[in-house]
Amino acid sequence: MSGTVDDIVAQADPALVVVTTASRDEHAGCLVGFHAQCSIEPFRYAIWISKANHTYEVALFATHFAVHFLGDQDRGLAERFGAETGDSVDKFAGLDWSLSTSDVPVLAGCAAVVFRKETMWDDGGDHICLVGAPVTVASAAAFVPLRVSAVRDLEAGHDPRERPDAGEGESSAAGEAEELQEIAVGFGHELTPEQVDAFRADRESSPDE
Ligand SMILES: Cc1cc2nc3c(=O)[nH]c(=O)nc-3n(C[C@H](O)[C@H](O)[C@H](O)COP(=O)(O)O)c2cc1C
């Protein structure tokens, strides 16, 4: 993708939220910049979760999720939920939180809304979209949004290019090559091993394009 698109989108400087959810006796949550109200009547809110995240595995089976709107004083929460992963730490340890009536963890001190998951949508990209209907306003505290520009130095706990099907020890370029082959096979045009290697080498030499 051209840098120009990235530059234009970056200037929109979205507000950050922490999305929490729960399923199968597990709690999870991550920092999210991809989110928006997506219907007025009925009210609907959409969030996008990276398939590489621990939160994704929990969100797949969840019935509800909570959206916490971070204020400019919440950098600590952004670090904890955006730079750590539930694969290796308990992000809720030591925090003030409680279970909402829908069994979703709600963090104290943030404006937060609990949503019932209405639909889940996978368009084949590296994030899935969850659309929710509001069930509870857990806290309506006023806030000045914490924006992406304020946390540019944070390194995400998971790069979205890490995919669960990439295979342990393989690079994300290898995972992408595998994915490309699957798509090609789906269209009846299996790539030769040379073509797969060439694609993989190209992605390894310029992984951010
Ligand atoms: C500024 C910023 C914005 C992010 N936006 C999203 C997002 O919209 N969706 C998402 O799934 N992850 C997003 N992430 C990445 C996750 O918050 C991060 O990988 C987190 O550590 C995943 O935690 P988990 O593995 O416990 O789910 C963002 C990270 C940062 C630093």
Between CA 100 and CA 136 the distance in angstroms is 8
Residue 183 pLDDT = 67
- 190 alpha carbon to ligand 1 midpoint, in Å? 34
Cα-based angle 129, 125, 11 (whole degrees, multiple of 5): 80
Number of other residues whose CB lies within 10 A of the CB of residue 189: 9
Q: Are 53 and 21 in contact (CB under 8 A)?
A: no
For each of the chain's 209 residues, which pLDDT tens digit applies?
557 999 999 999 999 999 999 999 999 999 999 999 999 999 999 999 999 999 999 999 999 999 999 999 999 999 999 999 999 999 999 999 999 989 999 999 999 999 999 999 999 999 999 999 999 999 998 999 999 999 999 999 999 988 665 444 445 677 677 777 666 665 667 777 778 778 877 777 765 55
Would you report the helix, strand and coil content of the chain in percent, each value rounded to 5? 30, 30, 40
In the chain the first and final C-alpha atoms are separated, in Å, by 6
Mutate to test the pocket of ligand 1, among 23, 31, 161 (most ligand atoms within 8 A of CB): 31
Question: Ligand 1 within 6 A of 80 CB?
Answer: no
Q: pTM for the complete prediction?
A: 0.81
Cα of 200 vs centre of ligand 1, distance in Å, is 25
* CA dihedral for 78, 80, 86, 91, sign (positive or negative): negative
Q: Are strands 97-99 and 44-50 parallel, antiparallel or unpaired?
A: unpaired
